[in-house]
Structure 1
Amino acid sequence: MSRSFTGCLRCKSRRQKCDETRPICGRCATAGVQCKYAMQLQWGGRAFSRSRFGACVDKGGMQRLEYSPGEFIYTTKSKPQSVQPEAESSTLALTHSVDPFSSLSPNQKALLHHFINDASQITACHSGMQQDICRMLVPMALQTPSLLYATTALSAIHLQALHNQSENVKTAPDIARQMALSLEHFRKELQDPSVKGSEALVATARTLCLAEVHSGAIHPNSWRAHIEGARALMKTTDRGEETLGSAPGFRRYLDRWYWSIVSLTALTGNGPPIGNNSDFVPSGLASQQGSPDYLDDYWGFTVDLAAVFRQIGAAAWRSHVTQDSRQGFIEGEIQSDVEDEAALLEMSVRQLMDRGANSKPELYPGVAEGLTIESIQQLALCNEAFQHSALIQIHRRLRKTPTTSADVQRSVQRILECTEMIGPSSGLSPWVMLTTPLFIAGCEARGDDRDTVRRLLSSLHETVRIPNVLQSLKFLEQYWANKLSSDEDWSHFLDRMNYDFIPY
């Protein structure tokens, strides 16, 4: 067989005919190895600086474009110049730019374009964060099939919701196909020594988890499995260090996602806590004594408050297990150790609230400079809404305080007030982070406050178009109508309905 001139690198190096199937050709698929397409330019005779192409670069007609870490192309600048090489009369003008997405199918290109311009906004509250997410994820997705398919699945979920099909996301064949292809490649990449342990796999687990959660998953382990997978992968990599080929700060971004989803799962979930605080220390995230309690602009709440969330979840689970194992347990009876934990956790939240009331929020270095005063104020309000969410869960899940109590209802009212002050926004703002506090307030809302929760969650879905927001409202309606008594909290309702759901 004749060798391939436009096939993948492996086939060309082996002088074999390549069927040029993308993203992986038949020979590479059969061999179970990584398949990569690239153009190799070879220069003969003259040194690069004395060649025609080198002259273009030297005289400013060309520029180097790095489209993924360590890989680049040369392309013309915005105004291509005709360059007259030394001792040559001919003119060299390059007018066609190179498309780094040329290997993708039209459908993949459209979905990736939608992710970059629209779907990436639903996990970002300001433009700097959205640009960072795309800058880190997209080049890596072009080199990692599992991440590419997971990203296009997440984009397809958002696109489906934009077309008023939020309730049909789980049955959409295109989305199911993208997810299946991602999982298929994910399994292969986990066995590949050249990829195993890389941040690309953690990014795939993260994106698959978001796709499951955003689509409104309720079945056990449909999204938790990806968090557990990310946890295992992160423990195999060097703590806090960037791996070869990763974008600057990418490991730190993955740490931030992991701790946000673990903290919110502990605050709202009904299962055992995911992982534990001794697994690994999040690089640059843990607030230690004497360090600022950063308000994470990715989470919408502070690092210290996230630790309180995890402690609430752990205490609630211990209480749940203890109650199930006791004979003749009297409803409403509170063990002294649980009450002690509840008191300490409430004191911690109150201290954080007092600290926030007397000072401006402390953001990570370099973040505040890119935000408006209004955005910073909205982040502070978002953090306050999460603080009151923690107070509600301490009262309801640990102390078994009745939903009608003044303490619970004051926090409900304040969450709704903070949400109203942030206000609906179709652009980038902390508005996108409010599903969790709105849902927690909704579980305890009464009378007219339920109508306010309905209105705010409906408005949130209309602007961000995340199907899980609509699922949250649907579950609230079920909870209000079907809970056994006014004192049955959300976590016990989840147990009874056999749901595994996170309002994220």
Structure 2
Amino acid sequence: MGRLRDRTFTGCWNCRSRRVKCNEAKPACGACLRRGVRCNYGTKLVWVEHDNQVYKSDGRRSWRCDLTWSGYAPLPADVVDYLILKCDQDRTMASAAPDCASSVWDLGHHSPFSCFQLQSNEQSMDSSDQFEEVMVDFDNIDSPSLSNALILMPSLSENPDLTWDDQFLFDHYVRDVGSNMMPVEHARNPWKSDYPALALGRTWGSNKILYHAIISHAAFHLAHMPLRDTNKYSLIGSKNYAIAIHELRLNIDNDLTDFATTVASILSLMFAEIYSGRSRYWRHHHEGAWKLVENHRSRDTLSSTDFTRILMQNLNIARTISQTATGLIQDLENGDVSETPELLTTPSLSAMITSTPAYGFTIGASGTILDCISKITRLQHVMANQQNDMTHYVDETLESILSQLNCCRNQALGDMIEDEYANRQPSLQTLLERSQNKAFIYATYVYLYRTLFDVPPRSVKGYVTETLRYVDDFFTLSEGNFSIWPAFIAAVEAYTVDDMAAARRWLERSTSFGMGNRESVEKVVREVWRTREERCEALDIDLGIIAVDWREVMREMNCDVLLV
């Protein structure tokens, strides 16, 4: 009778598949070292389909796929999305703090991804470091070296009292909503870093307001996404919106110890309104935030921190863009445009904000272009009020605007020629930023000629075509969220077959991002087109000479859309 051989099942997979003795040395056994192959002791998986196919064992244990999750209910799509996200997020947490890698939201064996092991690095980071503000050199804000320093993966895993929906929506805000808030991925995106980091202190004051505001923002986004439970997420969005409003009313009259977080909370409520699709109410929040900033200018609010500076910039950008639709000041009750006292005053709050570094980067436009847009709106106000003594001012301002626009256009063309001459291929981010910037430049030409001179669409056709071409270029390279304003300004003036087709392509993409206000934008564009075609048939004249004021159309539709 032969000697009984001891069988073990702890050798490496290479030795077990070759049926040879393994000395089980780690990290690599002797046999694998001699053969120069990778040694592996980890879990070895095999998917066994229900197709009656014979699978070679190879030392593995298999389980029929239809029995793997027997007794467990199928996971909803949003839960699967969350679990996939947790794989990446937990890996990041494990590398940063191994002791925190296990989350209270880990489903253990209930998760189909629980078999994947986390690899943690030896380096650790104190959790308090996550909340330290990073001081940014705005002169080099596009430097790639910033990207690693500014990556923030906020997690609510240390808050076991949260509901599943809150945890999922918070992660959704960081992952998806934050990316949608800027047209191009940027290392200094505040919606992916500062906003969620501040919201983690959700148990008190301004942080609590901000937390519920961004949960509402994320919920309204999901409510407008396909294949989602619209009623469920609309209800969650409305509930958190109401809580945030209640907390804001309790805290707004108190001494503002955290001014920036309060302003961020109000702006988040504004965007929650925009994403919900309720077209007019966002303006109340914007005007409230603006008055709050004006009342606290003595606190040096414009430059106290980088985050505060970006907040002020976003507030002023929204103001500049909103005024292109309604004029300089709009009464909140009746929508009438009234005169402004700011026209020729000494440095206003807006002027102080526009002078800060990197102004405009969050919307994808240069500070110069945004300044041109603001000047055009103000100049229209002067001309509409027929102030005869302002003729010299009008001429000088118009000359200044055209000079700035031509300079921006020449610089953009020069950058492209320089790359071709040097046989240099720009990075993807550079190409996307250029498409965004050029669209803004040409759309500003359209806005100037249509607003100040009321020229027909035929006179601005070249600018319209160029704007929509750069919109197409952007979407050819990216699935990012192109800024509304330049595309909208071109779309409402499109009248040729090709330009209208390009505008429709933009509308189709624009309405796929889960933003409720985009539906209103599409309705306005199509109503402008319908009105132009109706007048064309009635007057029997060419479409290109029929000017339709989209602002009048918007007012007739009782619609007030923030085009950002």
* TM-score using structure 2 length: 0.60
Corresponding residue SS for 1:228:
helix
Match of 1:140 among 189, 198, 221: 198
Q: Is the 8 A contact 2:293 2:301 kept in 1?
A: no
2:253 aligned partner:
191
| CA shift for structure 1 position 165 | 7.0
CA change 1:183–1:398 in 2 (3 A) is: same
- Share of identical aligned residues, percent? 17
C-alpha distance in structure 2 between counterparts of 1:314 and 1:359, whole Å: 31
Match of 2:319 among 262, 279, 291: 262
Match of 2:225 among 142, 148, 162: 162
| CA shift for structure 1 position 340 | 6.0
Match of 1:178 among 240, 254, 262: 240
CA change 1:69–1:423 in 2 (3 A) is: closer
Q: Is the 8 A contact 1:269 1:501 kept in 2?
A: no
CA change 1:119–1:185 in 2 (3 A) is: same
CA change 1:300–1:63 in 2 (3 A) is: closer
Say if 2:541 is the partner of 1:501.
no
C-alpha distance in structure 2 between counterparts of 1:275 and 1:305, whole Å: 23
Runs of 5+ in structure 1 lacking a partner? 1-59, 72-96, 288-292, 327-333, 362-370
CA change 1:224–1:284 in 2 (3 A) is: closer
| CA shift for structure 1 position 453 | 0.5
Alignment of 1:89-128 (within 5 A): 99-128=157-186
1:419 aligned partner:
471
Say if 2:446 is the partner of 1:392.
yes
| CA shift for structure 1 position 358 | 2.4
* TM-score using structure 1 length: 0.67
Q: Is the 8 A contact 2:328 2:378 kept in 1?
A: no
C-alpha distance in structure 1 between counterparts of 2:493 and 2:326, whole Å: 16
C-alpha distance in structure 1 between counterparts of 2:326 and 2:231, whole Å: 23
2:410 aligned partner:
354
1:374 aligned partner:
428
1:24 aligned partner:
none
- Deviations for 1:54-86, whole angstroms, at most 9, x for unmatched residues? xxxxxx998531176489xxxxxxxxxxxxxxx
Q: Is the 8 A contact 1:297 1:379 kept in 2?
A: no
Match of 1:149 among 194, 198, 212: 212
- Of 234-243 and 385-394, deviating more is 234-243
| CA shift for structure 1 position 109 | 1.4
CA change 1:355–1:127 in 2 (3 A) is: closer
- Deviations for 1:95-150, whole angstroms, at most 9, x for unmatched residues? xx993333433322111011111111101344444765332111311332211111
Q: Is the 8 A contact 1:381 1:418 kept in 2?
A: yes
CA change 1:412–1:281 in 2 (3 A) is: closer
| CA shift for structure 1 position 469 | 2.4
Runs of 5+ in structure 2 lacking a partner? 1-121, 134-154, 202-206, 331-339, 418-424, 536-545
C-alpha distance in structure 1 between counterparts of 2:315 and 2:191, whole Å: 15
| CA shift for structure 1 position 424 | 4.9
Alignment of 1:66-465 (within 5 A): 66=128, 69=131, 99-129=157-187, 132-143=190-201, 144-163=207-226, 172-193=234-255, 195=256, 198-219=259-280, 222-235=281-294, 236=296, 238-240=299-301, 249-270=306-327, 272=329, 278-280=347-349, 286=355, 296-322=360-386, 341-359=397-415, 373-405=427-459, 408-424=460-476, 427=479, 431-448=480-497, 449-462=499-512, 464-465=513-514
Q: Is the 8 A contact 1:111 1:156 kept in 2?
A: yes
| AA of the residue aligned to 1:389 | A
C-alpha distance in structure 1 between counterparts of 2:341 and 2:308, whole Å: 18
Q: Over aligned residues, Cα RMSD in angstroms?
A: 3.7
| AA of the residue aligned to 2:515 | I
Q: Is the 8 A contact 1:108 1:152 kept in 2?
A: yes
Q: Is the 8 A contact 2:471 2:482 kept in 1?
A: no
Corresponding residue SS for 2:127:
strand
Corresponding residue SS for 2:563:
coil
Alignment of 1:27-42 (within 5 A): none
C-alpha distance in structure 2 between counterparts of 1:228 and 1:163, whole Å: 32
* Larger radius of gyration between Structure 1 and Structure 2: 2
Corresponding residue SS for 2:481:
helix
State the structure with bigger RCO (CA 8 A, min sep 6), 1 or 2: 1
| CA shift for structure 1 position 303 | 0.8
CA change 1:134–1:202 in 2 (3 A) is: same
C-alpha distance in structure 1 between counterparts of 2:519 and 2:236, whole Å: 21
Say if 2:491 is the partner of 1:491.
no
| CA shift for structure 1 position 270 | 4.3
CA change 1:164–1:426 in 2 (3 A) is: farther
Q: Is the 8 A contact 2:267 2:285 kept in 1?
A: yes
C-alpha distance in structure 1 between counterparts of 2:249 and 2:319, whole Å: 24
| AA of the residue aligned to 2:506 | L
1:366 aligned partner:
none
| CA shift for structure 1 position 458 | 0.4
